[in-house]
Structures are given as C-alpha cells and as structure tokens.
Structure 1
Amino acid sequence: MKVKVIVDNAPPLYPGTLLRGRFTCTVDSSTQIRAIKIRCYGKEYTEWRGSGKNAPTFVGTHYFFQMETKLFEPEDGVINPGFYTYPFTFLLPPSLPSTFEFPYGYIRYSIKGFVDIPLAFDPKDRVDLAVISVLDINTLPESLRLPCQAKDESMMGCCWVYNTEPVTMEAQINKRVFVIGETIRINMEINNTSNDNVEQLVVKLVRCFVAHSENPRHDMRYINEDLTSKTITGVGAHGQQTYDVNLQIPHDLAVPNMVECQLIESIYRLEVTASTSGLNRDLNFVIAEIKVGHIEGPLESVASSSSYPNQSSYTSTYIPQTSGYPYPPNEKSKNAIGFEARDPSAPPAYNE
C-alpha cells in the first residue's frame, strides 16, 4: 500500500490559514484496516546532550495544537484494491510562532496521514509546513516605548588582577521596541578613570536564541549572533567622551515570532565591547534588551506591507553555532511546504 499527503495551498503559510489538501492511497490487494486518518499539529522541541561522561540528554516538548480527522472507516473493516483520494481541511490557529530550526531545537508544523492497520505497520506520509508569523509591535507592552537609561561599569585587568578604578558607561535610548530597517539612536558617555587606554569601542546589536529543557530537569543552551555593529574611537586613560551612535537594524533581517513559545525564546541586546591596551581583557557593557518586530500599524494591511517578513528569509532557518555544546545529527526535513527541503541543524526529527 502506498500513501501520500498532498497540500493544495501555495506557500507561504500564515496563522489562520485554511489548509486544503488530499490524502491518496494506492491499494494493491484487499487489506484489513481500522481507519484512514489525517493529523495536523505544531510543536516546539528542544534537545541536547549534557557534558561529561554519563551525562543525561535534556529534552523539552510543547504542542501548540493537535487536530485529527478520520477520513474513512470501512463498515466491514476491509479496503479493496484501487486508488482512493480523501480531501481534508484544517484551520490553523490565529496565533502561532514562526517555523524555526537551530542546533538545540525546532518549531515545526506538519500534516501526517496514515492507514491504521491492526497488528501491522501503518503506511504513513508526512509533510512539513513553513509558517511565517508576523510580530506586530503594537501588541507589545506600552512600557517598551518609553526612554531607557543604563549605567554599567567594568574593571580593567587580566588574570584576576585589576585596576582600582573602573571604566564606566552611561547610555540612553528613546525606546526599546523597533521594526526591521529602523535606526536605533544611542547617546552614550564613556568615563575611563583607569590608567590604561580604551583603544576602540564596538557598539552592536546581538541576538540570542535560548533553548529550555523540561526533562530530566530544567537547563538552557544558547547561541549568540551579532546582527549589526559600529566601531568608534576609544577613550584615553583618565578621559571622558560622549558619543551619538546610529545603529540600523538590517532591512532583510529574519525575525521569527516566538511570543507563544514556552521552550525557545529570542533575546535582542544592545551591547558595547571596549578593546583595551596591553594585556587587559576586553570590557563588555549591556545597554538594554530590546524587542524587534515586523510591522507597526493595523494588521489589516499586513499582506501588502513592505515590512512584512520576506519568505526567502525563512528557508528552514539555520543559525550558525557560536556558543554552547555540539549537537547530534538529525534526519532531513521531509517534503517541506513553504521552504526548501535541506539538511537542517535541528535535533533528530520526531517519529510519530
């Protein structure tokens, strides 16, 4: 018996989409079956191996939705030879995260059809769907639109031997929520009270993807990615300098919506790295955590908005690994709808 799931919707797919498709069965001989079923579901999954000998594997699973429909149930419990086509529809929930994959987990949506055969292997087929979810910044807390001030300090030194006087940073931004392509305006003052020079400063926007586990206990893994940066001149010993820095968020930045997630989150931070003279370690300062979204305006106009996320940015997202522990290999995403099928860097695909 051969089976196949066919999705009629043209990609991309969005929350609230009415999915239409067909499940086909080619039956070579009379076969006893209980039923023919189709299932649509979306979930986030995290997994990684702990470090050290006999370390446990950390996992987490959370379903956003699960829907199942019985397409056919024979009265006599037998399906005769022939070719059969069973249409189906599923309505995606209106609020969903974006499809996403990285070395410590994934967010995936799938349609799976199968023939329930008693005491035998169930013929089945699965199609993975790519869902693009818009993050409207108007749905975020109003407090993010208020000005934000930050003060941080760090000591110069090396090998636990530090100067007695710190390097201090004071910074201000007019808000903490932005859309892709927008410019972040930062007013910053560096006060170097140490005896060494700060050679240069790098102001950057950093994105951190965080994975959480549930079993055998809560744990976390993360990956940092520099999105954009600007290098400016430093401050001499016992010097003080004020800067106005404009940092533009890339127009083509893929911003996965993870508002509904429980196990995977994205964090955006404005940071400053100070390169110092001599053997001193570099100094790191955090200005603020911010939010980045796709649109600022009514959702009715989202389909024609130029700030709507580009489908090409969501090709089975892979984030280069820059931190954390290595991740075991996984199997290939199957029959992807809405993104190219490729070797993802996510955990082993679920077998259901």
Structure 2
Amino acid sequence: MVICEIEFCNNPQGIFYAGQLIRGQVVVKCDKPKPVKAVILQIKGYAETHWGDTQYDPEDQSNGESFNGHVNYLATKAYLHGSSSSIEVLIEPGTSSYRFACQLPITCPSSFEGTLGRIRYLVNVRFVRPWKFDQNFNRCFTVLKVMDLNTESLMLRVPSQVESQRTFCCFPCRSSPLSMRLSIPLGGFVPGQTVPVEVMVSNDSGVAVEDITVKLAMVVIYYSQPPSADTNKDRFVMVQKTGEGVSSKSSKQLTFELKVPPTPPTCFNLCSIIQIGYQVEAEARVKGCHGGQSLHMPITIGSVPLTKQLQKEPRIWGEDLQTQQFDVKTLILVGNEQSEEPRSPPNPWAADPSIAPPIYAVAKHIFPDPEKVSKAKKKTQKKSVKRSNAKIGEDIVFSPLYGVFDLSNQTEEIIVRPNAMNGDGGYANEEVDKSTWL
C-alpha cells in the first residue's frame, strides 16, 4: 500500500494570495518495494466552464449542443522518481519526503466553485505504474486575487446613487410617479464590512407600496469558447433585508445594513471565461396587479479594505519584489541541505498595521442549483469517457476559503442611523421633509 500526504509548510490551511510563494512537501509511505515508471509532482491552476443545451432531448445531453471553455493559469511539474522514459524504477519501503516551492503568478484569479464552471488550483502527485492505471493523490488549495481597494479607482471612496420613476395605468388615466432613489456612501467593501444602503421613496401615485426589499447579489457570467461560443449566467442573493411599505401620496426614507459574507473579490479582467460582479438591488412591491419597481447599483468587493486616509502613493502589490531565484510558474524541488528558500511577499494588508488579519471561511451563499450540477456532471462524465486524458482532480469536491475582516474598531461614522427600526431590516426616518424631496 502507498500513502501520499501533501502538506503546505508556509500555510497549513492552503490559502495563498496571487504572487505569493507556495512551499510544501510530499510525504510518501510504502510498506514494500513499489515498481513505478515515474512519480510526478504537478501544480495546476485553471478555469473551466461547461454546460449543455438540452432543448433537443432533456434526458440525454449528448443529443444537444455542448458549451465548454478552458484556460490554464499554472501548469508545472517535477519528477520525484523516474523520468519521462519508460524505464521502471523501484520505490524502497519506508517514508520519503520531498520539499517543493512554486511561485504563483500575480495575475491568478481567485478560486471559485460555481454551477457551470470553476477556477481551481491543486497539487497532484501521480504514480505512473507499469501495467496498471495511474494512481493520483490530490490536494486543492485556495488562491485569492489581490484586490486592494486603495489602488483601484478613487470613485470607490465617493458616494453613489441611482434613481428611477414609474407611473401606473395608461394615458389619460396615468398616475403620478412613484420615485425611488438608492444611495450608498462608498463603492468598495470587503467581506466582514457592512454596506449601509439608503432607499428614499416618494410615492405620489395612488398605489400603495407594500414593502421595500434590498439585496446584495453576486452575478457570475460564464463564457464558452469556439467552436460553440456562448454565455450563461448565475445570480446568488448573498444578503436580503425587508423594510416597511410606503402609503400613497407620501414619502419615506429607509436605511438597511447589508453585511458582506465570505465571497471572492470582484473579477472582470483576470479570467476570460468566468467574470464575477456584485450589485445592490432595491425593489418596491406594490399592491394589486401592478408590477413592482426595482433598481440596482454595482459595487466592488475587494480583498484589502479602504483605509481611513487617502494614500498619496498607494502601494502596488508585488512592485517591490526583487527577481525571484527561479522563474514564475516554475516548480522546483528544495533539497534538505538548502537552508535559504526563495522569499515570498508579505500578506497584502501588512502595509497598514491598523488592519487586523482576516479569518477565512466558506462562501455559504453560493448554493448551486442541484439540477444544473447534476446535468453538468453528467455532461462532464460523458465527455471524459471520450477523452484518454481526462482532467486530473475534476471529480474532487472542494470549497475555497475567503478572507473576512473585522473592522469594527476603525469604522467611521458614514451614516447617521435613525432611531426607529421597521420591518426586519430597515430603518425609517420619519423626519424627512416629504414635500421637498426631489
């Protein structure tokens, strides 16, 4: 029997930021001599999407069109035993350990596991055995994109608002407008922070608003690649709060607090087949058969929070790194006699001592549709049968971990909370001058 353990020396949890160095070791235990052609250590990072168009036959996806995409971010390997030749070697009984180091590219997107695609990083040890199937040992790890809100657009520090109007019925019976304004004090937040959302409603129509619902939603867009290029989309509600309604011919201001849960950073430019965005949504549900009114506003979720003061010369992650002792994406084996290993950049928030390190947790708001997952897995399995080189680790269940910050000791008074709380998540400000809004 062969036992193979994969450990990370500089982060036992297996959580790394793009640009950091992975240091670990592989421990192989054998109870008797084992013949192999090679033992290969691989570190992989890739994004993939896959779904099927089942409009022809929903029971058999092979009759429909398949949409797939794949992009590699990291693909490197080293031989622990043997070589690329077919000559057999013998692994002696006992315990052997192999130390390794690998530099992550600074452009790696964050780990993500979705319904129709994923961004995954893993360490694989493959035993190429004579006259037998290869034996694989895998361990996935989390990679997080470094998105420092202080180095993004200055507009993230500026309050934002969006407003809309709608009327009911048709001319000449058209009602006066129902107006909504959605406002937030900042445009960038990190998991653990609270997003204060202000909704101002001026209801001059004759239709009463039953309640106001505010949501923080995650929108994921999946892309496939030629020859069947297409897009698909998922939407996950992360947080939802509901406040009281607004009667006709009156106005009301509601304030909601939406705490950002563990979630990957916004990502539009690093992955060409999976894009992740966030938006705050507000909806006014009205009485009767009329459709409600809704509006939304995009926000940015980062991995390093905004500081209290604007930095004159923001620190760009990785700009102070000297040339590494080996090329990026190269996997090296570190001998036991080598005392000094290639250095890794510090954690991205370390430049600001007032920011406490985050804790890490699973994103519980991402609940893939079981039916979609089942169909996607079925399609993947059928596709794998037709390939002689099925992807390593594609049947592994893995949940990435995302950083959650506790910034309660440095939160500024961004918004003044009214005294009274209404519904299960809204604050109503009854002191608003209802005659002068707009």
The two structures share one fold, judged by TM-score above 0.5: yes
Is the 2:238–2:365 Cα contact (8 Å) retained in structure 1? no
Q: 1:168 aligns with which of 151, 174, 179?
A: 179
CA shift for structure 1 position 174: 3.2
Maintained 8 Å contact 1:41/1:66? yes
Change (3 A) 1:305 1:228: farther
Is the CA contact (8 Å cut-off) linking 1:17 and 1:91 kept in structure 2?
A: yes
Distance in 2, Cα, partners of 1:325 & 1:255: 21
Deviates more, 1:20-29 or 1:197-206: 20-29
Other-structure match for 2:222: 211
Q: Say whether the 8 Å CA contact 2:221–2:231 is kept in structure 1.
A: no
The separation in 2 between residues aligned to 1:188 and 1:26, in whole angstroms, is: 65
Equivalent residue number for residue 319 of structure 1: 366
1:48 positional shift? 1.8
Aligned to 2:291: 281
Residue 70 and residue 304 in structure 1: after superposition, are their counterparts in 2 closer, same or farther (change >3 A)? Answer: farther
Question: Matches of 1:111 and 1:186 in 2, distance apart?
Answer: 42
- Across the aligned residues of Structure 1 and Structure 2, the Cα RMSD in angstroms comes to 3.6
Q: Which amino acid aligns with 2:178?
A: V
The offset of 1:271, in angstroms, is: 1.5
Whether 2:233 is the aligned partner of 1:221: answer: yes
Distance 1:152 1:3, change over 3 A: same
Aligned counterpart, 1:346? none
Q: Aligned pair count? A: 326
C-alpha contact 1:210 1:221 (8 A) present in aligned 2: yes
Alpha-carbon separation, structure 2, partners of 1:299 and 1:65? 25
Q: How does 1:248-263 map to 2 (within 5 A)?
A: 248-250=258-260, 253-257=261-265, 259=267, 260-263=270-273
Q: How does 1:28-107 map to 2 (within 5 A)?
A: 31=35, 33=37, 35-53=38-56, 54-73=63-82, 77-80=87-90, 82-83=92-93, 85=96, 87-93=98-104, 95=106, 96-107=108-119
Who is 1:138 aligned against? 150
Aligned-partner residue type, residue 366 of structure 2: I
CA distance in 2, matches of 1:69, 1:195: 72
State the partner residue of 1:4: 4
Map 1:121-200 → 2, pairs under 5 A: 121-132=133-144, 135-156=147-168, 166-200=177-211
User: For the residues of structure 2 that align with 1:283 and 1:337, how far apart are their CA atoms?
Assistant: 36
CA separation of 1:326/1:4 partners in 2, compared to 1, >3 Å: closer, same or farther? closer
Structure 1 residues 20-31: aligned runs within 5 Å: 20-22=24-26, 24=28, 26=30, 31=35
Residue identity in the other structure for 1:167: L
Q: Secondary structure at the match of 1:143?
A: helix
Is 1:241 aligned with 2:255?
no
Question: Do the aligned partners of 1:223 and 1:323 also contact (CA within 8 Å) in 2?
Answer: no
> How far apart in 2 are the matches of 1:141 and 1:311?
26
Partner AA of 1:150 in structure 2: V
C-alpha separation in 1, matches of 2:266 and 2:28:
34
Partner in structure 2 of residue 264 of structure 1: 274
1:114, 1:125 within 8 Å by CA — same for their partners in 2? yes
Q: CA deviation at 1:116?
A: 4.1
Q: How does 1:289-300 map to 2 (within 5 A)?
A: 289-296=298-305, 297=307, 299-300=349-350
Deviation, 1:189, is 3.4
In the TM superposition, residue 62 of structure 1 has moved relative to its aligned partner by 1.6
Q: Secondary structure at the match of 2:375?
A: coil
1:31 positional shift = 4.3
Kept in 1, the 8 Å contact 2:184–2:198? The answer is yes
Distance 1:329 1:229 in 2: 32
Which is further off, 216-225 or 122-131?
A: 122-131
Task: Note the alpha carbon deviations across 1:194-240, whole angstroms, 9 max, x for none.
Answer: 3322222223322223322224112112122141424133141xx24
Shift of 1:39: 0.7
Q: In structure 2, list runs of 5 or more residues that go unmatched.
A: 57-62, 308-347, 378-393, 402-438
**Mean alpha-carbon deviation: is it higher for 60-69 or for 97-106?**
97-106
* Counterpart code for 1:24: V
How far, CA to CA, are the matches of 1:157 and 1:60 in structure 2? 46
Deviation string, structure 1 residues 277-306 (Cα, Å, up to 9, x no partner): 1122222222x1111234325721589944
Q: Is 1:108 aligned to residue 120 of structure 2? A: yes
| Cα separation, partners in 2 of 1:5 and 1:329, compared to 1, 3 Å | farther
What is the alpha-carbon distance in structure 2 between the residues aligned to residue 39 and residue 266 of structure 1? 28
**Bigger CA drift: 299-308 or 270-279?**
299-308
CA change 1:233–1:195 in 2 (3 A) is closer
Q: For the Cα contact (< 8 Å) 1:157–1:279, is it kept in 2?
A: no
Q: Equivalent residue of 1:300, what SS? A: coil
Q: CA deviation at 1:327?
A: 4.5
**Residue 78 and residue 51 in structure 1: after superposition, are their counterparts in 2 closer, same or farther (change >3 A)?**
closer
Native 8 Å contact 1:20 1:88 kept in 2: yes
Instruction: Determine the structure 1 residue equivalent to 2:375.
Output: 328
2:29 paired with 1:13? no
Structure whose residues are more often strand by fraction? 1
